[in-house]
Amino acid sequence: MRSMLRKLPDLNRFLSNQFLYPLLVSTVLAGGFFVFRVAYSGKWYYDNLPWNLFLAWVPYVCSLWAAAWYRLYPDRWWILLLPGVLWLVFFPNAPYIVTDFYHLEKRPPIPLWYDIGLITTFAWTGCLLAIASLRTMQFLVRKRANGFVSWVFVAVALGLSGVGVYLGRFERWNSWDLFFHPEKVLKDLAVPLMNPWNNPRFVGFSLMFTLLLLVIYLMFVSVTRGSEIDPSISPAQPSSGAER
């Protein structure tokens, strides 16, 4: 029991480093807004939002999984492949919630401004989950490679995310369809890739979401620069560059 209690500060440090607590607060806030809407109106409009937010948590949990395994087994990089692949497959679910503004319309007795705030809270939380998980995955890539490779990884991940959001919104594919119907998903992806100029919606939408996430991510990195903590270092083991 005492050994578990001694590990609590270390666990808290690890979870804080992964931005878990503000993400939980934002999720609870979004859920509270939705529950109030249902209770006040008696109707289950926008019931897709909680499900989409649940899916947005999946890549973040995968990034926690990868960070925890790196912390425990820093020399066994291959064990990060499973959570890494799952993270990449489900990553588009996090920013996808932004597209739920597509369903926005007046739905009395709830005023329109409330529904704008409701969707914004869910979308904002989804973007935060995406950015926080990407930051963790970039850090892990940098530990195994270098800074340049880690930024190439970021660019590729964001580009694939933009394409994934497009496939979800317009082609109505889900992340798990890559496992169950890979040939159909790839077919719907290959057509616009082979003829991009004949598919301006695909190019414009994917590029817009990629750039949007890139700008948000760069802002996030700029704000958090200098506060990064190596997840392989416990609070009792300062890194070599820290004061002793």
The residue-averaged pLDDT of 31-36 equals 97
How far is it, in rounded angstroms, from Cα 204 to Cα 207?
A: 5
Model's pTM, two decimal places?
0.86
In this predicted structure, the answer to whether residue 237 has a pLDDT above a threshold of 70 is no
Q: Work out the number of other CB atoms within 10 angstroms of the CB of residue 186.
A: 12
Report CA-CA distances (Å) from 155 to 138, 146, 160, 237.
10, 15, 9, 33
The residue-averaged pLDDT of 7-20 equals 83
Q: Is residue 200 part of a domain?
A: yes
Q: Is residue 235 part of a domain?
A: no
Q: How confident is the model at residue 17 (pLDDT cuts 50, 70, 90)?
A: confident
The residue-averaged pLDDT of 185-196 equals 84
Q: Is residue 242 part of a domain?
A: no
Give the pLDDT confidence score for residue 194 in this predicted structure.
Answer: 84
Question: pLDDT tens-digit profile of 143-169?
Answer: 888 889 999 999 999 999 999 999 998
Question: pLDDT tens-digit profile of 36-64?
Answer: 999 999 999 999 999 999 999 999 999 99
Per mean pLDDT, which of 24-33, 73-82, 224-233 is the most reliable? 24-33
The residue-averaged pLDDT of 107-121 equals 95
Q: Is residue 231 part of a domain?
A: no
Q: Is residue 69 part of a domain?
A: yes
Q: How many folded domains does the chain comprise?
A: 1
Q: Is residue 16 part of a domain?
A: yes
What residue numbers bound the domain in which 142 lies? 12-224
Q: Is residue 86 part of a domain?
A: yes
Instruction: Give me the amino acid identity at 198.
Output: N
How far is it, in rounded angstroms, from Cα 109 to Cα 43?
A: 10
Q: How confident is the model at residue 242 (pLDDT cuts 50, 70, 90)?
A: very low
Q: Is residue 236 part of a domain?
A: no
> What is the per-residue burial (b if ≥16 Cβ within 10 Å, else e) of 136-166?
bbbbbbebeeeeeebeebbeebbbbbbbbbb
Question: How much is the CA Rg of the chain, to the nearest whole Å?
Answer: 20
Give the pLDDT confidence score for residue 96 in this predicted structure.
Answer: 93
